[in-house]
Amino acid sequence: MKNIVVIGAGTMGNGIAHTFAQCNFNVKLVDINQVSLDKGLATIAKNLDRMVAKEKITEAEKAQTLNNITGLTTIDEAIKNAHLVVEAATENVDLKLKIFKQLDGICNDDTILATNTSSISITEIAAVTNRPDKVIGMHFMNPVPIMKLVEVIRGYNTSNHVTNTIMQLSKTLGKVPVEVNDYPGFVANRILMPMLNEAIETLYNGVAGVEEIDTVMKLGMAHPMGPLQLADFIGLDVCLSILNVMYNGFKNPKYAPCPLLVNMVRAGKLGVKSGEGFYDYSESKKAEKVSAQFSK
């Protein structure tokens, strides 16, 4: 297994492409939007520069990693000779089903199709293909080049051979794969998202403010990042989407998203990606912080 295709050049997609390329796989990074593709490739280069500055890799290793990646805007061209396709598109079930149906029609019969979904049923995705035994979940954590965990999710029909192949491949990437079964939210988000939702409910009910809630969790529970800051980092729209998948999948009110989260997403306050969520990430706010530092 040498030729890897990654669908989607966003935060997760470019991180996955970076990780494979750094381990000397041939990677084609595909995004139908040229601007998004260029941004994804630029992010990879910037992250590699950061690694060089920290002396984690050499300039030669950076150059080789970038040389291992080809950016494309069409799937047909990218898919030729692919051994593995990793889909990392937006967390939208209709979009993923459309992509997998398209991939199944043009990929070689022995190509493994993986999805980076963080909550959507692998079995449902596999059902739109003629190769359900070769469809599997590879849920990487953000930021992909740094985080060690990969949730390997087998659908109802995923074969043992494919599961073992992806488990071993994850280890080749320097990751720690954990095999889980196909239930809404899998393990990571089934536990994480209710906690984030409860933190939002705590804010919504006026128990404490944003920084106070995060401080309690950081200092009291030794979390490296508070739940509200983490929700901003993940993307409030992504959090809402995952909670909706879990709520619809389990029909359990404990997974119902907080009204505050719903309204913030409707208002376009999505966290870091939009410049504002529970915290302000705008350029003006950054300028204020810099000014404050120099005035001390």
Q: Which of 47, 189, 244, 274 is catalytic?
A: 189
Is 142 flagged in the annotation as binding?
yes
Asked if 175 and 148 count as a contact pair (C-beta separation under 8 A), the reply is yes
The verdict on whether residue 9 carries a ligand-binding annotation is yes
Asked if residue 231 belongs to a known ligand binding site, the reply is no
Q: Which of 18, 83, 151, 276 is catalytic?
A: 151
Is residue 283 among the annotated active site residues? no
Active-site choice (118, 170, 197, 244): 118
Does the annotation mark 121 as catalytic? Answer: no
237 annotated to bind ligand: no
Is 274 a known active-site residue?
A: no
Check the annotation: does 15 bind a ligand. no
The question of whether 118 is a catalytic residue gets the answer yes
Which of the residues 139, 197, 244, 274 is marked catalytic? 139
280 assigned to a ligand binding site: no
Is 91 annotated to bind ligand? yes
220 is in an annotated binding site: no
Residues catalogued as catalytic: 118, 139, 151, 189
Give binding residues for NAD(+) as ranges.
8-13, 31, 91, 96, 118, 142, 273
Give binding residues as ranges.
8-13, 31, 91, 96, 118, 142, 273
